[in-house]
Structure 1
């Protein structure tokens, strides 16, 4: 390894020095490579094992690597869902003395997959719609923070299951810019048009390759991001006016925002000159309403929809046990040690890489409901858990560190996305 190697990182993992930086990335030996599905990228990207976790190594220019590294760190400070930057490495030289490209190193997001790896033989319309809805939510969060992406696409996004929906994470930020004064309507519309065109092209590519359901309309799905984005943007930032006697609509607006997963940090409320009309507008909106409540009560860090589902089960436990008058935090601790943690511990060790614990719990609740519906009786949680492990979980692929053929060679070993607790093979 050349003495001129330069590593820039907030916290340097010494194991980085053990990777073959003097070898072109495309020629790295297999013992360093983690075989994970990749999205489409204009740069060469390889996954590598490092200190018990996986990193993504992307060859680029020194300027772009440093710019993207700084941008990802900024987005993390703003609590935007994105991959974690690890390091920028420059000064790479081969054993023969030739200069090698600088790289950006990011940490692979566990339990996440590129959109092409989220289906088996064909992408179904409802799955495509859920992916686009997740991307619309991510884009709104970015725009509220003043971030112009410039290259919005499914390929530049990673997705994690989130209690029947998907959570989207930004992967590629090299074209992005952050504006302290916020974005203009023109900038937001430009990003939205880029998203619409890119998504249509990506879905058309799948359709042309026979990897999308015949009923999938790429243009209609891609147009859906425009509708989803505008509806959400209006709900989060729009002004609402109503009669003074309808003050209950203030709480209703706050409740709608909370249900969408957002907290209002500040709410502007004004009356007209006569005092008969009230005008409200959210000033600052933060995502993760249910996540923050769940962390506060239990310490569990999950996706927003997963948090909502777990909180619903916690609230049901509190009501069923007749503990409405007991402090919420006390009941939450009891639910955690008596309900959630026993489920997690009951998962066989060899199956724990299948899904995140919170997603397992969500799917277990769904599975229990379907069993009760089909058998017309109350099904104990322990009985449902045994059925779920044997009939559903064992047949899923590992999503923590999925080892599979390259994306272009995915086979029926990868499951169709199902959220009803049933075996995916029934739907192929």
Structure 2
């Protein structure tokens, strides 16, 4: 036999003495455990508890096992929610199929469990939103699922919302980019499978009677189309509203949980510009590191995401004015010098300790957005900063004040 485990391999040590030479369905090891109301599978799947963790073992052909192992590792690398693959066991005796080993996702639920014991209202809406977001993330990354179904997905609660995790990569394919035809076919397969799964739930009286499986599956397609258009559509705008409209579009995308990699403005025959955004799946926790490398600003993760979005918007404006592409590092340097630092100089010394610098700048951007929305045009960062410093920052509660160093150490 041949064991292939991804690092760190310590978790695999306790699994080495399992009865790998026997067919998986015949195992009688004491560490075998059951997962209630788990999804259906075409293959033999068993669960093992070892070292305080639960592992899922799936018996499939060696070709599929190696393919799924590689694809699941790739998904983790690019930050798409998916199960953590631990390894694959091949070359088993008596021509037995290989076994793929993954970590069971803690605190996760199958769609059957969610409908059997719903937590909160609108369970079908939350579940469909989570499934659609996962499918869109995969498509943005060039992944064709081929078997998008609720049974091939795990769901985990996150502050009341649901996050969907990719589980089964047997039929998946990785491409440089998906065509519209590939996405449409994948979406149609998802619609058919979800409708069938919900019909099965309805037959077992586990689906709320007011839900129609066909209508819910059709709604999944509508939700996907809406999200995909928001992620990828171009829009035409006048030169006067560019900064405001770009910031508004980026804001909506960030609220949906996606990041903008590039902003491109293209001259339009109407005299305005076409906004084209390159949207991508974010690498978790990378924004702080990226902003630090570009500007030297060391801020919190969400602050970094907001500042990077403003730099992207500023870069798009620079390219429109200069008529040529501007490197990201050049745009960041110019933004730091011409936008960020002048705004911070505007803040009076007696107000600088109310919030940290990045938080003040973030709130000025938020203030600019609200002022621009009310005015129907971009009011500009300087005007927004002046209004914020005059009318908002002085009203920050006193309990957020940071005492000066001398107050912290009277002896100095």
| 2:264 aligned partner | 268
Matched, 1:172 2:172: no
| 1:285 aligned partner | 280
Gap regions ≥5 residues in structure 1: 301-321, 332-428
Aligned positions, number: 300
| 224, 248, 255: which one aligns with 2:251 | 255
Contact 1:196 1:225 (C-alpha < 8 Å) held by counterparts? yes
Matched, 1:143 2:139: yes
Contact 2:79 2:284 (C-alpha < 8 Å) held by counterparts? no
Change over 3 Å in CA distance of 1:255–1:299 after alignment to 2: closer
Q: Residues 395-417 of structure 1: CA distance to partner in whole angstroms, max 9, x if unpaired?
A: xxxxxxxxxxxxxxxxxxxxxxx
| 2:155 aligned partner | 159
Partner Cα separation in structure 2 for residue 121 and residue 86 of structure 1 = 30
| 1:73 aligned partner | 73
| 1:217 aligned partner | 212
Other structure's SS at 2:96 match: coil
Change over 3 Å in CA distance of 1:177–1:250 after alignment to 2: same
Change over 3 Å in CA distance of 1:168–1:91 after alignment to 2: same
Q: Is the radius of gyration larger for structure 1 or structure 2? A: 2
Matched, 1:325 2:358: no
Change over 3 Å in CA distance of 1:291–1:226 after alignment to 2: farther
Partner Cα separation in structure 2 for residue 212 and residue 125 of structure 1 = 14
Other structure's SS at 1:232 match: helix
How far residue 272 of structure 1 moved from its aligned partner, in angstroms, is 3.0
Q: Residues 252-282 of structure 1: CA distance to partner in whole angstroms, max 9, x if unpaired?
A: 11111111112211111122367x3021011
How far residue 323 of structure 1 moved from its aligned partner, in angstroms, is 9.3
| 2:35 aligned partner | 36
Partner Cα separation in structure 1 for residue 135 and residue 32 of structure 2 = 32
Contact 1:44 1:58 (C-alpha < 8 Å) held by counterparts? yes
How far residue 284 of structure 1 moved from its aligned partner, in angstroms, is 3.4
| 2:5 aligned partner | 9
Q: Residues 129-160 of structure 1: CA distance to partner in whole angstroms, max 9, x if unpaired?
A: 21111110001000001110100100000000
Partner Cα separation in structure 2 for residue 160 and residue 92 of structure 1 = 34
How far residue 286 of structure 1 moved from its aligned partner, in angstroms, is 3.0
1:373-392 paired onto structure 2 within 5 Å = none
Contact 1:122 1:213 (C-alpha < 8 Å) held by counterparts? no
Matched, 1:202 2:197: yes
Partner Cα separation in structure 2 for residue 176 and residue 218 of structure 1 = 25
Structure with greater contact order relative to length (CA < 8 Å, sep ≥ 6): 1
Partner Cα separation in structure 1 for residue 268 and residue 21 of structure 2 = 69
Contact 1:147 1:177 (C-alpha < 8 Å) held by counterparts? yes
Query: What TM-score results when the alignment is normalised by the length of structure 1?
Result: 0.65
Change over 3 Å in CA distance of 1:291–1:110 after alignment to 2: farther
Change over 3 Å in CA distance of 1:330–1:165 after alignment to 2: closer
Matched, 1:21 2:20: yes
Contact 2:60 2:98 (C-alpha < 8 Å) held by counterparts? yes
How far residue 324 of structure 1 moved from its aligned partner, in angstroms, is 7.4
Other structure's SS at 1:87 match: strand
Partner Cα separation in structure 2 for residue 70 and residue 298 of structure 1 = 33
Q: Residues 382-407 of structure 1: CA distance to partner in whole angstroms, max 9, x if unpaired?
A: xxxxxxxxxxxxxxxxxxxxxxxxxx
Change over 3 Å in CA distance of 1:123–1:174 after alignment to 2: same
Other structure's SS at 2:220 match: helix
Query: What TM-score results when the alignment is normalised by the length of structure 2?
Result: 0.67
Change over 3 Å in CA distance of 1:123–1:254 after alignment to 2: closer
Change over 3 Å in CA distance of 1:209–1:324 after alignment to 2: farther
How far residue 225 of structure 1 moved from its aligned partner, in angstroms, is 1.1
Partner Cα separation in structure 2 for residue 202 and residue 288 of structure 1 = 32
How far residue 48 of structure 1 moved from its aligned partner, in angstroms, is 0.5
Q: Residues 282-312 of structure 1: CA distance to partner in whole angstroms, max 9, x if unpaired?
A: 123334789967xx97789xxxxxxxxxxxx
| 2:100 aligned partner | 104
Change over 3 Å in CA distance of 1:328–1:217 after alignment to 2: farther
Partner Cα separation in structure 1 for residue 353 and residue 274 of structure 2 = 36
Contact 2:258 2:281 (C-alpha < 8 Å) held by counterparts? yes
Other structure's SS at 1:43 match: coil
Partner Cα separation in structure 2 for residue 290 and residue 52 of structure 1 = 27
Matched, 1:233 2:228: yes
Contact 2:79 2:283 (C-alpha < 8 Å) held by counterparts? no
Gap regions ≥5 residues in structure 2: 289-297, 303-350, 361-412
Q: Residues 207-238 of structure 1: CA distance to partner in whole angstroms, max 9, x if unpaired?
A: 01111111111111111111111111111111
Partner Cα separation in structure 1 for residue 200 and residue 70 of structure 2 = 33
